Amino acid sequence: MLPDQTGSNALTTPALLLDEARMMRNITRLAKRAEDLGVSLRPHMKTAKSTEIARRVTGAVPGPITVSTLAEVEVFHAAGHADILYAVGIAPQKLARVKALRERRCDLVVILDSAVQARAVVAAGVPALIEIDSDGHRGGLVPGDPALVGIGRILHAGGCLRGVMTHAGESYTVRGTAAHADFADRERGAAVTAAEALRAAGLPCPVVSVGSTPTAHAARDLTGVTELRAGVYMFFDLVMAGIGVCTLDDIALSVLTTVIGHQSAKGWVMVDAGWMALSRDRGTAAQDVDQGYGLVCDAQGRVVPDLIVSSANQEHGILSLRPGAAGRLPDLPVGTPLRILPNHACATAAQYSAYNVIPSTPGAPLRIWPRFGGW
Amino acid sequence: MLPDQTGSNALTTPALLLDEARMMRNITRLAKRAEDLGVSLRPHMKTAKSTEIARRVTGAVPGPITVSTLAEVEVFHAAGHADILYAVGIAPQKLARVKALRERRCDLVVILDSAVQARAVVAAGVPALIEIDSDGHRGGLVPGDPALVGIGRILHAGGCLRGVMTHAGESYTVRGTAAHADFADRERGAAVTAAEALRAAGLPCPVVSVGSTPTAHAARDLTGVTELRAGVYMFFDLVMAGIGVCTLDDIALSVLTTVIGHQSAKGWVMVDAGWMALSRDRGTAAQDVDQGYGLVCDAQGRVVPDLIVSSANQEHGILSLRPGAAGRLPDLPVGTPLRILPNHACATAAQYSAYNVIPSTPGAPLRIWPRFGGW
């Protein structure tokens, strides 16, 4: 339940809302899966970027995490997380900062896929995972690449070889558990094959790290894998609902907005959440159901059937019924508060400096959890 | 010229760069136009969100500005700007905050297009402009709408009628000075017609405000208009270049990035600027030349022919030659710094908390100007 939005305690809209009960349910769901699969979980904090949320994901003792920026390393390390994977191919220019963090007792590990990077991390004394390409999505070596063992040797000679990692980003483009499980098999197959190639060459490969939100929720078997990574699952979003990883009722993040006008002849309702509030992400555009810039709910979070943000300017959203919808546009007078479910939680959350947290305890006041950005 | 990016003074990438000389040239260009057209200029600060830039736009004495959020009003008012138009239809819930700002000697004016909003602003004693729809783009009353005079009467009875305003957002969708000038005529025609309708009913209409970056640069005649608004012109971007308002050499904003890998068989170069660094804006997708997520330049800002950010993940950009390009992919080793020109300056700048300013004076050090966001 959202506190009253008509009084003086009303939030300034647009504002980012986080439903704590839904988030905790999502966190518990994947923690249970990892346990059942016999792997450790290294949650990716790139979506949340909040120490409050990291604490709820990894437990009372700050645990292992994955991050996407060195700014995240610095903030989460200051909050007690000392086992961190920076999962973006390392630029040599960043190694001085990485080294400084390691000297402050942060076991920060980087990733790479080239000999030039391997030589740079060895020179800096920074441990690394070799990135493996399991689906052609972006970086990494295919498991059979002859360069793999060479890079492994460079790292091992410098005492910097920690293992291998892969991420099946293409799993976001297919729908359903079976399809996601197939991508999970590809992640496992690629990472384990690469690990075995290193071991066959006499190199150690203690870490075999895989994951994405769709594959983590669908994997049938992770034999040979040591850890699982996923990030957006804490909040979920319309893209994840569109590919069947969650339901709309699992989406913990929404944007609170206010009706500011109408163009009745066009069937438009104007709100004060534009793309600055929602992000420019149109991740559902290529899915079976295009949700525009977001799906509209009432202030309590109940979906308004077929009402979407069909267009967005910087600070204006235009709501209309989705093409072909049978219903009628509801009466939404100026001043009506609404919530919008985001296409992509990572992109929408990034537009805000705080979460307004609807607590699990009914009737308890909203809490504010800071959120950070930057690099 | 960009300072050396190989030493210890290198910026952490991705980073937002602002070329001061180009920005000042863009600012001077539109100031001259407004002067020639005989109207005052009320620059829109929604793109820049920087007090340093506002000072350079409005001159030594902080002058009139337009904004898109109340957070902007608070920051710019604290920096001395006391004549501010908040150009997003007012939500009644925001009037307490507006009133508080007005009580601190800020002449803050809001916009609206309904009687319910007019009654709310009168109750709060806040002056308003009536929003006029000149091109069907989003909010506003068409000039002939019989509701116009009724709203004017409500405002005037409460001493809150300041005038009318319009914005031809559709001008972004057409190319060339003649087409933009036609939209400028529509802005002028709609705003002046509405002003005359109010005056014919015995109501005052001192302010007749129009503008968008394309129309401001193309308007042939602004008779009857009192002020001109525009925002993105300070920086320009690929969308503006694509519709012929500026050249690539006028774009003052870019994102500094570093090469972090290759997928040579695919013709891909991976960089550490993904959509978090560039924004998800794909504003050139519907233009004659689709620039992907941005056009690539070398570290000194010289365009690399036909090299674009063809795809983007959260923190990864994938560079490749645009489809059909005749040239060859240049050799860009890991660690190479590059710059990316953005599709949409408003969206890209919003991803950063500071500008790294390349000063007009050759050889002078980079300066850092803070940038803010939020609502």
Chain B touched by A334 (CB under 8 Å): yes
pLDDT digits (tens, 9 = 90+) for A215-258: 999 999 999 999 999 999 999 999 999 999 999 999 999 999 99
Distance of alpha carbon A31 from alpha carbon B156, whole angstroms: 62
Contacts of A279 in chain B (CB under 8 A): 280
Which tokens hold the place of A139? 């970086």
Where in chain A are the domains?
A: 44-230, 245-370
pLDDT for B20 equals 97
Q: Determine, for residues A91 and B280 on separate chains, whether the beta-carbon distance falls below 8 Å.
A: no
Q: Check if the interface score ipTM surpasses 0.90.
A: yes
- Please say if the pLDDT value at position B8 is more than 60: no
Contacts of B144 in chain A (CB under 8 A): none
Distance of alpha carbon A246 from alpha carbon A29, whole angstroms: 11
pLDDT digits (tens, 9 = 90+) for A283-299: 999 999 999 999 999 99
In chain B, the percentage of residues whose pLDDT exceeds 90 is 95
Strand arrangement of the beta sheet that strand B227-228 belongs to: B40-41, B227-228, B207-210, B161-166, B128-132, B107-112, B83-89, B65-67
- Please say if the pLDDT value at position A363 is more than 90: no
- Please say if the pLDDT value at position B6 is more than 60: no
pLDDT digits (tens, 9 = 90+) for A33-50: 999 999 999 999 999 999
Distance of alpha carbon B196 from alpha carbon B212, whole angstroms: 22
Q: Determine, for residues B88 and A315 on separate chains, whether the beta-carbon distance falls below 8 Å.
A: yes
Q: With respect to CATH, is domain B245-370 assigned 2.40.37.20? A: yes
Residues 171-230 of A with CB under 8 A from B: none
Burial A271-298 (b: 16+ CB within 10 A, else e): bbbbbbbbbbbbbbeebeebbbbbbbbb
Q: Determine, for residues B113 and A261 on separate chains, whether the beta-carbon distance falls below 8 Å.
A: yes
pLDDT digits (tens, 9 = 90+) for B188-232: 999 999 999 999 999 999 999 999 999 999 999 999 999 999 999
Distance of alpha carbon B21 from alpha carbon A207, whole angstroms: 50
Q: Per-residue pLDDT averaged across B241-252, rounded?
A: 98
Contacts of B96 in chain A (CB under 8 A): 8
Q: In 3D, which of A158, A127, A152, A166 has the Cα closest to residue A202? A: A152
The third-level CATH classification (topology) of the domain covering A44-230 is TIM Barrel (3.20.20)
Q: A109 has which bridge partners? A: A85
Distance of alpha carbon B107 from alpha carbon B86, whole angstroms: 11
pLDDT digits (tens, 9 = 90+) for B307-356: 999 999 999 999 999 999 988 999 999 999 999 999 999 999 999 999 99
Residue-by-residue DSSP string for B11-55 = PPSSEEEEEHHHHHHHHHHHHHHHHHHT-EE--BTTTT--HHHHH
Other CB atoms within a 10 A radius of the CB of residue B200 amount to 9
Cβ within 8 Å of residue A143, ≥6 positions away:
A132, A134, A189, A190, A191, A193, A194, A197
pLDDT digits (tens, 9 = 90+) for B249-297: 999 999 999 999 999 999 999 999 999 999 999 999 999 999 999 999 9
Which tokens hold the place of B203? 């109501």
- Please say if the pLDDT value at position B70 is more than 70: yes
pLDDT for B9 equals 61
Residues 248-287 of A with CB under 8 A from B: 258-263, 266, 270, 272, 275-277, 279-282
Which tokens hold the place of B156? 């005037």
Contacts of A69 in chain B (CB under 8 A): 315
pLDDT for A327 equals 86
pLDDT for B373 equals 97
Distance of alpha carbon A45 from alpha carbon A68, whole angstroms: 8
Cβ within 8 Å of residue A271, ≥6 positions away:
A257, A258, A259, A260, A309, A316, A317, A318, A319, A338, A340
Q: In chain B, what is the straight-line distance between the N-terminal and C-terminal CA atoms, in Å?
A: 35
Which tokens hold the place of A176? 């359903």
Q: Which of A8, A272, A351 sits opposite B88 (nearest CB)?
A: A272
Domain B44-230 and domain B245-370 have a common topology = no
Distance of alpha carbon B300 from alpha carbon A295, whole angstroms: 43
